[in-house]
Structure 1
Amino acid sequence: MKKVFLALSLFCIISIFAQENKKTVISKRVDNPPKIDGVLDDSAWQATDVAKDFVMFQPGDGTKERQDKKTTVKVIYDNNAIYFGATMYDDSPEDIAMQFGGRDQFGQTDFILISLNPNNDGLNDTEFIVMSTGAQADSKVSSGREDFSWNAVWESKVVINDNSWVAEIKIPYSALRFSNSNIQTWGINFIRKINNINEEYVWNYIDKKIGIFTQYSGLLEGIENIKPPTRLNFSPYATLSYTTFDGENNFETNFGMDLKYGINESFTLDATLIPDFGQTAFDEQVLNLGPFEQRYQEQRPFFTEGTELFSKGGLFYSRRVGNTPINYSDIEDNLNNNEEIIDNPSKVNMLNAVKVSGRTKGGLGIGFFNAITEKTSAKIKNLDSDEIISIITEPLANYNVLVLDQQFNKNSSISLVNTNVLRDGIFRDANVTALIFDIADKENKYKVSGNLKMSNVLENSENTAGYAGFLRLAKTHGNVQYGAGHWRADDKYDYNDLGFQRRNNYSNYFSFISYRIFEPTKNFNNFRINLEASTRYRNSGEYSENNFELDAFFITKNRLAFGGGIETGIGKQYDFYEPRVEDRFFKQNPVSESSAWISTDYRKKLAIDLRGEYAFRYDSEGRYIGINVSPRFRFSDKFSMIYSLDISKLTNENGYVEELSNGDIIFGNRDFKSVTNSISGKLSFNIKSSVELSFRHYWSPVVYDSQYSFLNDLGTLENHSYSANNDINYNIWNFDLNYSWQFAPGSQLVALYRNTIFNEDQFSGLKFHKNLKNLFKEPITNNISVKFIYFLDYNKLKA
């Protein structure tokens, strides 16, 4: 009983001490709001409380701010918005970094960051960042993870003075979520970045050794009798597009609208009606010879903004919505000799999508997503009768995600996630449910996390149920951190209809230990060394492989970053995925891989990133070498370019080719090479208008030996008489040039020119310049599009 009493007493003392360490700034109500011009001479700023006495956040730990680099922030509010007046003193304003960029593009700039948490829950902050150039960035923060895809409409203005730079900021209440309480106490913190000396300072001290930064907010008090406004805005858009390809021209117009509505103080409805994703960035496609699907990053704004709740458990891969029809490949596989494909769309059109998300003051987060895609059909022509028939490759489909996420203790959460795909008619349906937990002790020193997932797939009138689970225990504080865990899934677990799944039927064990510093040493601002080990089995018990990895990361005082790693396995490795046939395996020796990289100081006009990799398979002639060179040059604060050359070569690799009708699994010994050239550049006229260039050419030739093999029941290879030509010459060319202009808050005009070339043939023996000549014999897709988006705020419309 005494021990329990002592523990409770100690916890109370720690809690009281933590509260006493929280700084407080008092906001003042004003009747006449300031003009947002970067000059803090309005009467509203007089006689206000000041947040001051910042301490070092990076690279040091709590050191007082420099006398000649002090920071002060004032906070006031009225019935419509909260205002901040930040003064960043600097005795050498000519050294303030001023690289121009667009929204959420930091580059080489100073900035002031305001982190607000109206619910003061220690986990869910909203960040507003103003850079020394005047550019803005904003993000939603959930459990320490920043999501810069979220964008709000707010105002700011920057002025550079003789001994400081000043940021004046207005954040309308429509950009925030807060309760109806008459007296408000918000969590708040400020971070200032001083780029030329590579230092960051924070108002309320953040202990980097324990917990996450959102748990260290100070307090904002004095806000009384404000009411959440009607949060309703519309973004109608219009797109004009002209495309040419192989002598055919196509002109399209599209009109639609995005809508955002605050259902109440906690929850928001987002909807996109008649969506248009024609100007999304191109995918960085590569030749994929492996057993798993290639994963692409989501580029569509509706699916990237405000999705922190929907990412819980990793069950939602939004690219599934509007992706390839489920029966797309069946059309060619089942084609008769007297038939030809007239049209087989590779994408499904999305009709509309909505999402509702938010979190109550009690910490309950609720997210609901729904999208509907249209029926998609292929057209097949009978060459004997000229009859054309339509075959449904994807019926009308409904995609749903539901998330319930309860947070507690400012560091823990338990979640329930369900994804569901319903397709019209007899087509495949899928349902997945997961229980997810992430629980830390009150001192943020130890954490247990994990999940239990169940999948159900209904296909051909049969239901297939599967399960998966994960458990991880870890020490999460201090210089030395460590942990261990276990992953498991049976062979029926399948969440691929609305998620991204590479494999199932596994039982994997892993452990790790790391050492890191939180304060600079004599030579380094930061470094981290990490050792991991894993052993992998099938869920049914068969051994698969093991892996050991040691990697390190260092940053010097002069901002030179470098690191590397070594990775290997011990004993025979059994690959149950490369054969592409259930219960078959390919037995090989393990691979030893080493890598090293270096990144020079981005503050300089010329900087370079270098990376090298080398790997070999034990007792084999298989070798891999990879080199990446990426110089970047800043011609001026408004114009910069980055070039990247990536070359890799894999020799004497044995890989899957095909399965013959008699069941033989054919493998080939191949040499695989890839060369990627990419260029990106940006010319900023100001912080609201710019021209950007994105170019990428990916070339990958594959050459097979004339002698092929088949995989025997022992998992080894034997010679086979198979003799087909499987050489591949694969090219992707993408060129984007776009001009964007933010002509009003939240409103934008984007003009895009794009050309694309794709080619795949068997001319793998071509040299680089002859390959390019061969590539440009292919028809080129040219596209010109203009998109106009206009932001309308209900509160301004009714005023």
Structure 2
Amino acid sequence: MKKYLFIYFLCIFSFAFAQQPKKSVQASKTKKAPTIDGILNDEAWENADIAKDFVMFRPGDGTKERENKKTAVKITYDDEAIYFGAILYDDTPEEIPLQFTSRDDFGNVDWFLVSLNPFNDNQNDFEFVVMSTNSQADAKVFANGNEDFSWNAVWDSEVSINKDSWVVEIKIPYSQLRFSNAPVQTWGVNFHRKINYLNEQYVWNYIDKSAGELSLYAGLINGIENIQPPTRLNFYPYTSGTLSSYNNDTRFDANFGLDIKYGLSESHTLDVTLIPDFGQTAFDETVLNLGPFEQQYSEKRAFFTEGTELFGLGNLFYSRRIGSSPIGYYDVEENLQENEAIANNPTNVNMINAIKLSGRDKNGLGIGFFNAITEKTYATIKDTVSGTERKEITEPLTNYNVFVIDKQFNGNSSVSLINTNVLRNGDFRDANTTALLFDISNKENKYNVSGNIKMSNVREDGENNAGYAGTVRLGKISGNYQYYFRYSRNDDNFDIQDFGFQRRNNYSNFYSGISYQIFEPTKKFERFRIRFDASLRYLSEPNEYTGNDVELNAFFITINRLAYGANIEANIGDQYDYFEPRVEGRFFKQQGVFESGAWISSDFRKKFAVEANINYAKRYTLNNYYYGIEIEPRYRFSDKFQMIYNVEYGKLVNENGYITQLENEDIIFGTRDVKNVINTLSGKLSFSTKSALTLSFRHYWSPVQYQDQYYVLNKEGTLDPTSYSENNNINYNIWNLDLNYTWQFAPGSFLTALYRNSIFNEDDLSYIDFGENLTNLFNEPINNVISLKVIYFLDYNKLKTWL
């Protein structure tokens, strides 16, 4: 192990980054800022240098821009902001699509993108996008090329459409960027232009799609001199009111709070949320979970999605743990005494406050610190005879903490150290995890080695349990042919569940794969990729074989924007499941499964478009199979109104699954049919680029029907008939409807009105049909919520001027 670590760290200092030829443009400083009106007639633009000679990014590779679709970009700056003026020539302006969209939603539009890197480190870009309707999008770009559109800056833009072009004018205040205070600076930059009806995307500085990430291929802005990073202090005060009613119980809640962003240095920002309010967070797409593993939900609270890229390294940070169910939620029922009943047991813990500090300096050193505190939570227990009540702590005062150091170098490599810590007051469970990560590519971006070493420590009931995990991956990451080899191992004590998400531990798995893809279009295809993957799986302790998997998948996108694909997946021989029995050391032996699927997606530029997929799976000799189909039609009624409907139907027949463990330690299985019917409807009516009404609806129905004969799991992992007989049928319903109006009434300031109704029902009527089920569902109490929230953006620099 020490030998291999030495080799990895030797690579860190020996690899050199090969610079690609870069275009450059000169920025000129102006004494009078241009007016942002989409007309480049200001004095600031008269002598500005021009970035021109764009080349094709997609579908071609470096082809010169069309003569009648050229692009020219000018840059100027002053002491407050940097400005971009782009002329996007088009001799058919009537072809420019103009679908109104909300922020960060591209839709059917042409667009212009500025990718800005003030530190010129080839790894950390800011993206600013302006649509042909003047809708905006912005994102931070990670070192791996992923874009985080949850990041929202406050900047200004305007668009005008002329007889031979459309024009974009942009102002990006320095307060929204991170840069050094050097007297003379060179920034990285690239510009993208999308011509939607031609399905063509052009870029200023050429990008080699076959090697490395896009940020490696930025051009340069020269001539930025004598600018100072401003005081980056922003306030987001808010107020909200919520009226909720459920089962004849109505209540009103009013909240006031404040979020603060403060630039501690030219590179690092402190975010604080005081008295947080997450009442308008979108609903979760909950499903019935019959398996042994926890269901994972996406984070939808803005504070935990924006600016958290450092904390996500190593997959140790699952922010949904903060404010989730109390750690002692299920212990309350076990601790009930005679004649006691639970009067109230909160399902969620309230967060008191949270802070996050993050940033990266000009040398590529990123530092992140996150801390959140949740309040003490009680369950109320009532004596049914005397009527007296007592309280039991289900979650003590708890502190969640993350610390990250991430060093990027050579434009394509990084080494990271992450620590997460959960401290609960008193004699409750505490947890600590530390991980070392590395991701290193050679100078040509042809080969890559990456991996991690993780250590966990959980203290509970006076005992420490330490565990470890690790992964190493080697692969070829460029060119038409790419391949990889990976090994991952977790011991049976590795546990990150207090702050991370971990579906399972105790495995020792081998993976490999090879793929072929094109980067230049053929006569028929814009892109396609064919990939083959294989895995071999074992337990870590003891070293027992559990299964294997081979998979072949492919996708194709035609020149006319029709996308489709298919996959085939299979297991060879028997598979051994050590988790379905829910008892350590026991396993469930099953035959392998053959799976197949196909999907298709039509051209979204058209008013009507549709996506569909179909799947089928079957065990080799048993009559256990699955089939499912999903169809999603969408129709754009106008540039301001669009509806999307999705229906999904799936049925799993004759599945053998865990039910319970009896007091005599028998593990009971049953044979069941599981049906899933999911209907979702979403729509948006845009009144302008700043104001829209959106609809989100979802009904999830899952009936589970068991056969009369049940089974006991024997020591050989197979099933024997048993006399056990209980009704385990399930009829599970989730209904959610959100109607949301959002108005951006000032830069960075929003008014949001929400109406929500939701229904939940679970019973054993799994035999009823869809219509009868709906009738029964609407007889359940409906949870209705009406909420109004106003957030106002205050920039300290503007506030100081006003005062």
Q: Does 1:97 align with 2:97?
A: yes
The SS at the match of 2:470 is: strand
Q: Does 1:205 align with 2:206?
A: yes
Maintained 8 Å contact 2:16/2:410:
no
Aligned to 2:168: 167
CA distance in 2, matches of 1:764, 1:332: 28
CA distance in 1, matches of 2:237, 2:520: 49
Aligned to 1:771: 773
Aligned CA distance change for structure 1 residues 40 and 583 (closer, same or farther; 3 Å): same
Maintained 8 Å contact 2:16/2:442:
no
CA distance in 2, matches of 1:339, 1:717: 39
After TM superposition, list the pairs within 5 Å mapping 1:676-687 onto structure 2: 676-687=678-689
CA distance in 2, matches of 1:333, 1:526: 58
Aligned CA distance change for structure 1 residues 776 and 12 (closer, same or farther; 3 Å): closer
Q: Does 1:491 align with 2:477?
A: no
Aligned to 1:549: 551
Aligned to 1:242: 243
Aligned to 2:79: 79
Q: By how many angstroms is 1:681 displaced? A: 0.1
Structure 1 unaligned segments of length 5 or more: list them.
1-10
Q: Which runs of 4+ in 1 moved over 2 A?
A: 11-15, 332-337
Maintained 8 Å contact 2:440/2:449:
yes
Q: By how many angstroms is 1:124 displaced? A: 0.4
Aligned to 1:7: none
CA distance in 2, matches of 1:639, 1:191: 27
CA distance in 1, matches of 2:225, 2:567: 55
Deviations 1:679-719 (A, max 9, x none): 00000000000000000000000000111001000000001
Aligned to 2:9: none
Q: By how many angstroms is 1:212 displaced? A: 0.7
Deviations 1:446-489 (A, max 9, x none): 00000000000000010000000000000001000001010000
The SS at the match of 2:387 is: coil
Q: By how many angstroms is 1:330 displaced? A: 1.4
Q: Does 1:426 align with 2:427?
A: yes
Aligned to 1:712: 714
Aligned to 2:703: 701
Aligned to 1:55: 55
Deviations 1:258-280 (A, max 9, x none): 10000010100001100000001
Aligned to 1:32: 32
**AA of the residue aligned to 1:67:** E
Deviations 1:184-243 (A, max 9, x none): 000000000111111100000000111111000000011000000000000000000000
Aligned to 1:106: 106
Aligned to 2:224: 223
CA distance in 1, matches of 2:741, 2:364: 42
CA distance in 2, matches of 1:492, 1:36: 59
Aligned to 2:650: 648
**AA of the residue aligned to 2:492:** D
CA distance in 2, matches of 1:452, 1:13: 25
Aligned to 2:290: 289
Aligned to 1:736: 738
CA distance in 1, matches of 2:365, 2:570: 44
Q: By how many angstroms is 1:145 displaced? A: 1.3
Q: Does 1:139 align with 2:132?
A: no
Aligned to 2:483: 482
**AA of the residue aligned to 1:121:** D
The SS at the match of 2:291 is: coil
Aligned to 1:437: 438
The SS at the match of 1:355 is: strand
CA distance in 1, matches of 2:736, 2:232: 40
After TM superposition, list the pairs within 5 Å mapping 1:247-646 onto structure 2: 247-540=248-541, 541-646=543-648
Q: Does 1:726 align with 2:707?
A: no
Maintained 8 Å contact 2:72/2:88:
yes
Q: By how many angstroms is 1:755 displaced? A: 0.2
Structure 2 unaligned segments of length 5 or more: list them.
1-13
Q: By how many angstroms is 1:522 displaced? A: 1.1
Deviations 1:134-178 (A, max 9, x none): 000000011111111000000000111111111100000001000
CA distance in 2, matches of 1:159, 1:719: 75
Aligned to 2:4: none
**AA of the residue aligned to 1:395:** P
Deviations 1:7-30 (A, max 9, x none): xxxx99994xx45x2000000000
**AA of the residue aligned to 1:481:** Q
Q: By how many angstroms is 1:332 displaced? A: 2.3
CA distance in 2, matches of 1:456, 1:572: 35
Percent identity of paired positions between Structure 1 and Structure 2: 64
**AA of the residue aligned to 1:321:** I
Deviations 1:475-534 (A, max 9, x none): 001000001010000000000100001100000000000000000011100000110000
Deviations 1:613-645 (A, max 9, x none): 000011100010010010000000100000000
CA distance in 2, matches of 1:652, 1:335: 38
Q: By how many angstroms is 1:335 displaced? A: 3.0
Aligned CA distance change for structure 1 residues 359 and 333 (closer, same or farther; 3 Å): same
Maintained 8 Å contact 2:58/2:202:
yes
CA distance in 1, matches of 2:614, 2:757: 31
Maintained 8 Å contact 2:244/2:784:
yes
CA distance in 1, matches of 2:305, 2:16: 43
Larger mean CA deviation between 213-222 and 380-389 belongs to 380-389
CA distance in 1, matches of 2:585, 2:71: 64
Q: By how many angstroms is 1:785 displaced? A: 0.3
CA distance in 2, matches of 1:154, 1:12: 38
Aligned CA distance change for structure 1 residues 259 and 705 (closer, same or farther; 3 Å): same
The SS at the match of 1:484 is: strand
Q: By how many angstroms is 1:331 displaced? A: 1.4
CA distance in 1, matches of 2:125, 2:394: 44
The SS at the match of 1:313 is: helix
Aligned to 2:68: 68
Q: How many residues are paired up? A: 786
CA distance in 2, matches of 1:225, 1:525: 46
Q: By how many angstroms is 1:333 displaced? A: 3.4
Q: By how many angstroms is 1:31 displaced? A: 0.4
The SS at the match of 2:532 is: strand
CA distance in 1, matches of 2:152, 2:757: 29
Aligned to 2:8: none
The SS at the match of 2:215 is: helix
After TM superposition, list the pairs within 5 Å mapping 1:117-196 onto structure 2: 117-143=117-143, 144-196=145-197
Q: By how many angstroms is 1:360 displaced? A: 1.0
Q: By how many angstroms is 1:334 displaced? A: 3.4
**AA of the residue aligned to 1:128:** F
CA distance in 1, matches of 2:587, 2:335: 29
CA distance in 2, matches of 1:498, 1:694: 30
CA distance in 2, matches of 1:614, 1:763: 27
**AA of the residue aligned to 1:27:** A
CA distance in 2, matches of 1:334, 1:669: 33
Q: By how many angstroms is 1:337 displaced? A: 4.8
